[in-house]
């Protein structure tokens, strides 16, 4: 092993991967100067970086500064040349995106069109269509496509819509059509704006749509002429607010409005799903009323039909529903397990064992449950990745690899991630696997794990289940009476070991703590209240994350499934999902209403199993690890 790592070091010696701290400090100074338009005054810095992998980042920063301060035709030519010369350089792409709006402001229509991509989004698309108009074109179809959208479009679309109006292409029919789309998208403000552009007789129709869409209970009084799709939209909203009353309304409403079979199916689907996700037996009734010929491609509804039957232990229904699944769906591990489980519950033990046996060889949540059913040890199926030097050479030949390495060394993680995407773009599976090993050698665990998935290689557990920050995990797990394998499992599931990651909801760091939650936990632990930035420090995040995880376990009397669900979705939601009677935990987990949380709990339990093996712990079988779900938890937690 020592010789292997020496070989790696020798492989990188003499390349930019061996850049030293002094050179990186020079780059930092040069980048700051370029971003402030002062790099020309620091020729000494530029000279020292001629061979540095990130040298072109300086040129991009200079061009961006000039673009912000003095955009002109000569600069446009320079930017065009830079982008053309560096098509795979992330700052070149960022420069292009920032350049486009300045081209529009300066009427540089031809250059704007030449540099706009289909993937740039609606604002760029509107600019491009306007460019065609300004250049004398007649992009009627493209302009109308921008109009026929049920949401507010960006300001860049206004000139396009003005052109449509001037061409006489936005009559009452077109305005009414968009108002209808806006209602169906829930954009009621836009709907009212459009209604004001209509004559009174047309406006009354929009008012009728808004009446039921905004106040769905008004469907009880809806007239026969109501648009069917609007009625279905309003009905779905009504079901979310008052499920039982919506169910009672289904038949009279469908008959009064003479809804077609597709519309009726859509309404029944909503009722069935909501009853299933509320753990109500009415779900089985509504699924039975659905036209299953329309459900062949509806994996979501098919799954919930089975889950509802599982929840109410209607095992023959489970078997029938799984037998009716399309083969590709029926072959998923979840349904293979529940097929066997249902057969076992019906006394068809040998058939169940036949299904359990191959599934028990899988390293997965449902594979482990199958092994438990057979009283077998778990199969971890570890197969370390073999070094493939030609494939590795294909990765190392990419300049983006050097840039990604340097950006990580500089602490510029987001930019490094963009470069990593350039590294792996277009690689074959063998090269992707070697790229994953390189990222692992850099301790860049998130990229290593994700890249190995792209390579469709699943059995190198050293790469897929690393144990970084081990000292902190062990210390704080011990302080909170937690299994370190559980902490690693939560950390992997939450962040893929990225200490600075922030979610769209504001959760921060390795264990994805909301700042407010972290402060409450710190107060309970008599620890220093952390700032949001402090939560990116691994030791602080792990200390507070393990404290919160311990609180969740305490709240649910040590039930690890409920604690995991609470960590993801919040304890208040879990309180609402408690059953009326004691319940098998695997049935409860299978029926967690939120797909994200259901998958989260299953992944956490599966990951914990592997980490127990990686940490040389005794592997605790799932049927011993996960306790029964009790409605009395609700009584216990009310006073906590």
Catalytic residues: 494
Nearest Cα to Cα of residue 234 among 209, 252, 269, 271: 209
Cα 284 to Cα 291: distance, rounded to the nearest angstrom: 13
Q: What are phi and psi of 589, to 5 degrees?
A: -60, -40
Cα 151 to Cα 56: distance, rounded to the nearest angstrom: 40
Q: What are phi and psi of 629, to 5 degrees?
A: -90, 125
Q: Residue for token digits 């070149």?
A: 92
C-beta of residue 612 within 8 angstroms of C-beta of residue 619: yes
Convert 112-126 to b/e letters by CB count within 10 Å (16 or more is b).
bbebbeeeeeebbbb
- The helix (H) or strand (E) run that includes residue 534 is none
Joined together, the tokens standing for residue 630 give 């009790």
Cα 28 to Cα 157: distance, rounded to the nearest angstrom: 40
Joined together, the tokens standing for residue 571 give 């304890």
Cα 374 to Cα 623: distance, rounded to the nearest angstrom: 12
Nearest Cα to Cα of residue 520 among 477, 571, 556: 571
Cα 568 to Cα 109: distance, rounded to the nearest angstrom: 48
Which residues, 6+ apart, have CB-to-CB distance to 390 below 8 Å?
Answer: none
Joined together, the tokens standing for residue 570 give 């919040």
Give the Cβ contact number of residue 176 at 10 Å: 19
Which residues, 6+ apart, have CB-to-CB distance to 580 below 8 Å?
Answer: 631
Q: What are phi and psi of 165, to 5 degrees?
A: -65, -40
Task: Give the dihedral of Cα atoms 418, 423, 425, 428; nearest 10 deg.
Answer: -150
């Amino acid at each position: 092993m020592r010789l292997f790592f020496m070989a790696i070091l020798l492989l990188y010696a003499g390349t930019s991967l061996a850049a030293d701290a002094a050179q990186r400090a020079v780059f930092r100074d040069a980048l700051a100067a370029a971003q402030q338009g002062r790099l020309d005054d620091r020729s000494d810095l530029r000279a020292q970086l001629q061979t540095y992998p990130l040298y072109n980042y300086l040129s991009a920063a200079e061009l961006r500064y000039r673009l912000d301060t003095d955009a002109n035709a000569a600069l446009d030519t320079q930017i065009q040349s830079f982008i053309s010369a560096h098509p795979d350089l992330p700052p070149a792409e960022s420069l292009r995106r920032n350049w486009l709006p300045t081209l529009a402001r300066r009427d540089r229509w031809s250059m704007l069109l030449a540099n706009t991509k289909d993937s740039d989004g609606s604002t760029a698309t509107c600019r491009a269509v306007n460019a065609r108009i300004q250049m004398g074109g007649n992009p009627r179809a493209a302009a109308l496509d921008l109009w026929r959208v049920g949401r507010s479009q960006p300001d860049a679309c206004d000139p396009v819509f003005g052109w449509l109006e001037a061409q006489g292409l936005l009559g009452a029919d077109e305005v009414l059509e968009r108002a209808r789309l806006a209602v169906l998208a829930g954009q009621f403000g836009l709907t009212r704006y459009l209604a004001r552009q209509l004559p009174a007789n047309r406006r009354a129709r929009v008012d009728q749509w808004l009446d039921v869409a905004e106040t769905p209970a008004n469907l009880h009084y809806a007239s026969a002429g109501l648009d069917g799709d609007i009625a279905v939209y309003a009905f779905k909203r009504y079901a979310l607010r008052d499920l039982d009353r919506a169910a009672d309304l289904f038949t009279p409403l469908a008959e009064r409005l003479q809804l077609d079979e597709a519309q009726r199916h859509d309404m029944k689907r909503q009722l069935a799903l909501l009853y299933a996700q509320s753990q109500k037996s009415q779900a089985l009734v509504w699924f039975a009323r659905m036209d299953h010929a329309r459900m062949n491609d509806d994996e979501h509804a098919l799954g919930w039909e089975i889950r509802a039957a599982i929840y109410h232990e209607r095992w023959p229904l489970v078997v029938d529903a799984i037998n009716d699944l399309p083969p590709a769906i029926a072959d998923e591990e979840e349904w293979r397990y529940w097929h066997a489980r249902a057969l076992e519950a019906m006394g068809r033990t040998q058939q169940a064992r036949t299904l359990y046996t191959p599934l028990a060889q899988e390293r997965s949540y449902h594979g482990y449950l199958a092994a438990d059913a057979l009283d077998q040890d778990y199969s971890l199926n570890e197969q370390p990745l073999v070094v493939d030097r030609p494939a590795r050479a294909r990765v190392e030949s990419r300049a983006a690899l050097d840039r990604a390495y340097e950006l990580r060394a500089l602490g510029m993680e987001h930019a490094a991630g963009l470069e990593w995407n350039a590294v792996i773009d277009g690689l074959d599976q063998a090269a992707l696997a070697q790229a994953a090993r390189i990222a692992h050698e850099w301790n860049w665990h998130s990229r290593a794990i994700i890249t190995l998935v792209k390579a469709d290689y699943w059995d190198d557990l050293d790469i897929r289940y690393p144990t970084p920050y081990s000292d902190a995990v062990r210390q704080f797990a011990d302080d909170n009476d937690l299994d370190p394998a559980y902490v690693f499992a939560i950390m992997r599931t939450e962040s893929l070991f990225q200490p600075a990651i922030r979610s769209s909801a504001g959760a921060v760091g390795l264990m994805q703590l909301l700042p407010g939650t972290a402060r409450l936990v710190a107060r309970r632990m008599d620890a220093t209240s952390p700032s949001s930035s402090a939560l990116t420090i691994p030791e602080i995040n792990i200390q507070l994350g393990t404290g919160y995880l311990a609180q969740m376990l305490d709240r649910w009397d040590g039930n690890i499934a409920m604690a995991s669900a609470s960590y993801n979705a919040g304890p208040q939601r879990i309180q609402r999902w408690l059953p009326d009677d004691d319940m098998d935990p695997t049935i409860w987990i299978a029926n967690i209403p939120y797909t994200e949380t259901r998958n989260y709990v299953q992944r956490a339990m599966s990951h914990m199993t592997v980490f127990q093996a990686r940490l040389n712990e005794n592997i605790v079988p799932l049927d011993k690890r996960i306790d029964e779900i009790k409605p009395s938890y609700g009584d216990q937690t009310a006073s906590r």
